[in-house]
Each structure stands twice: as structure tokens, then as C-alpha cells.
Structure 1
Amino acid sequence: MYFQINKNIERYVSFNLDELKIFNSLLEYSVVPKKTILLHEGEICKFEAFVIKGCVRKYYIDTNGLEVILQFAIENAWISDISFSIYEKNPSRVYIETLEDCQLFLFNPESKEELFSKAPKFERAFRILMQRSLAATQDRLFNTISKTATEKYVEFLEQYPALPQRVVQHYIASYLGISPEFLSKIRKKMAK
């Protein structure tokens, strides 16, 4: 049951069996139906989620009432409002919603602190995860500013090759910062 998350966390640091048992004992396994809001805007985020199976999105609603998708999390990815809500205890500015039936491991800040106390090497692993997340966020920001819509879509397909079959087109358009109609034009042009 824990193979997937253990393999994910061991990409950065090697752990012995006892350390992994401590980690696994602090995780909360959850089966969540699709279209479940895990976090609402205005709430304090109290979890980091690891996606075992399924697809989750993080988004906000802009001043025009439109959803702007910030992140997709599919198998082997983490999702949370870690930058603003979970550690700063500020009301979240985002929503986190399941797009498919999901199997998740949930990890709360108290459990994480307990883990760091009992198995200190995990602090390094989670620091590396945070650094990689920050790098990905900066890369996404740079691409949003500097690349054409077609270049962004091609890069999206490289990063998430199966996602267009799993989510509706207007979610992909929102993630790319373009209209669904413009995404349709890009897709038609690429198909030729």
C-alpha cells in the first residue's frame, strides 16, 4: 500500500525500514470521490496530499469570476496550499478539487513535525521536495510570461501526456492562460 509514496520520497534520500514505518504510520489514507472540494478559498489548509490514483486541481477564481488553474496533480504528485495557508496559517486563496475518483495519502503539519522529530532525515527529503516545487513554480511563471500559447501547450503535453484524455479542454486552457477557443485552434493546427 505504501510502495508508491515510499518510492516517491526515496528519490531524494534513502531511508531504512524503521524510518519508513514511522512515515507510513503518520499518513492518512483517503478515498475521495470526484468533484470533491478538499480546500475552499478562505479556509486554512491543514494537509499535504499525495496522489496515489486520480487527478486533482488547484485553482482560484479571478476578479471576473473565472477559474484559473494553477496546478494539476496526478499519480505520484503532491498538492497543497503550502506556500500561503498551511504554514503561514492564512486563509487560503485557492480551491483544491478532485477531478476523478482519487486515492490519496494526507499528511498534516502536526504529523510532519512528529515525523521530523522521530526520523530527522525526512526533513531533508521534504526540503528537497519544496525546492523542486519552487523551481517548477518559477519555471511555470517564466513560461507563462515568455512563451507562445503553442509552445506552452506543447510543453504541457510533454509534462502531462495523458491528461488531455482525462480532463475537459477548458481546464487545460485555463491552466495555459488562454481561451478554450484558442486552444481548439492550436490543437487543429497541430493535428495538420
Structure 2
Amino acid sequence: MSSLLYQNISRYIELSEEEFRQFAEPFELKKFKKKETVLKEGDYCLFEGFVLNGCFKVYYLNENGFEQALYFAVEGWWITDIDSLINHVPSILNIEALEDSEVLMISKKDKDFLYETMPQIEKLFRIMNQQSSVALQRRILSLTGKTADKRYLEFLEKYPGLEQRLTQQQVASYLGITHEFLSKIRKKLL
């Protein structure tokens, strides 16, 4: 299937070739064009996706109608709206391809089947969810307790090389600032 997917899950669990084949079987390769919407606010999220190549923006529209980027997903990252997927509620998130991209998608039904037939997969996603919770906590603490300068430096560290793939507006949206203020930060740090 995909060596990138194998490398990703091998960080958490060990699978034989046959077990990996069984794990990878329900995933479906989907291709998205730049600016194509993968998930739209109000729709129900029915998938988890593993990014093989490309870049995605996961965001919501705040009450003023401005985009607030939660995270960017590049090669080796996962995309979903976990609240919508798990609780079967309309999504408040949007997921958009920022580049032509390829994703391995798995439905909740197929993932639940893997949980039942392959106990180590439940362990895999438990560990991944714990890592995601840690990342979310760090993101909240950064947004609420750090200056924009420090958030920008953290962004550069967390997403090395990604800034060249994004617009200044997209980076500013992630940082929770205007693109004009981001320009000032960049000049100051140079």
C-alpha cells in the first residue's frame, strides 16, 4: 500500500506484512485538486484521512466570518473532524486542499471493523489520539499565553519548510493575527 503510512503507524505499533496489508485494505486513495473542499461546515464527517502528498488547511469561520486555521496537514499527517466523526454531529470545520493532494481515506465503519478484528489497531489509534490531545493542549496554551512572535517561531519549528507552501494570509490565520502584523513580526525577527 503506502510506505509512508507504514512508517507512520510503525512509530506506535508493530505489524507483520500480512497484518499491515489487512490494516491498509479498507483505505481508499482519493485525489484532491488545489482549492477542492474535502469537508464543508455543516456536513457530516464520515472519514479519517492520511495525507500521502500535498497540503490541507483545517479551519473554521469565526463569528466575524474570518478564517481561523486550526492546523495544516502535510505528508504523514491525518485529517478529520473528530467531533463530527465520533458524535455524528454536523461539522463546524472545513478541510480544503491547498495543493493537488492524495489522501488515503478510511470510513468510521471500516475503522470500527479494524478495531474488532485487529486489537493492535485500537492501541494504534488510542496512542495517536493521546498525541493529538497533547498537541491540542499545547496549541491552546500557545494561543492563550504566548506572544504572536513566539507563536510564529513555534509555527516555523513545528512545520519546517511549510511557510514556503502557504500564503502569508494562511500563516496569519493559524497564528490568530492579521497578515499585516505578521509582516511586522517577520521584519522584526530578521
TM-score, normalization by structure 1: 0.97
Tell me how far apart the structure 2 counterparts of residues 79 and 38 of structure 1 sit (CA, whole Å): 10
In the alignment, is the contact (CA less than 8 A) between 1:22 and 1:118 conserved in 2? no
1:52 Cα shift? 0.6
Query: What does residue range 11-50 of structure 1 map to in structure 2 within 5 Å?
Result: 11-50=11-50
1:149 Cα shift? 0.5
SS at match of 1:5: helix
**RMSD of equivalent CA atoms:** 0.8
Equivalent residue letter for 1:4: L
Q: Which runs of 5+ in 2 are unaligned?
A: none
1:118 Cα shift? 2.0
| Deviations 1:65-84 (CA, angstroms, capped at 9, x unpaired) | 111111100010001001x1
1:142 Cα shift? 0.3
Tell me how far apart the structure 2 counterparts of residues 175 and 66 of structure 1 sit (CA, whole Å): 11
Tell me how far apart the structure 2 counterparts of residues 167 and 60 of structure 1 sit (CA, whole Å): 17
Q: Which runs of 5+ in 1 are unaligned?
A: none
Equivalent residue letter for 2:114: L
Matched residue, 1:188? 187
Find runs of 4+ consecutive structure 1 residues off by over 6 angstroms. none
Query: What does residue range 136-151 of structure 1 map to in structure 2 within 5 Å?
Result: 136-151=135-150
Equivalent residue letter for 1:164: E
Tell me how far apart the structure 1 counterparts of residues 18 and 160 of structure 2 sit (CA, whole Å): 36
Equivalent residue letter for 2:14: S
Tell me how far apart the structure 1 counterparts of residues 23 and 29 of structure 2 sit (CA, whole Å): 13
In the alignment, is the contact (CA less than 8 A) between 1:41 and 1:91 conserved in 2? yes
State the identity %. 43
User: What is the aligned length?
Assistant: 190
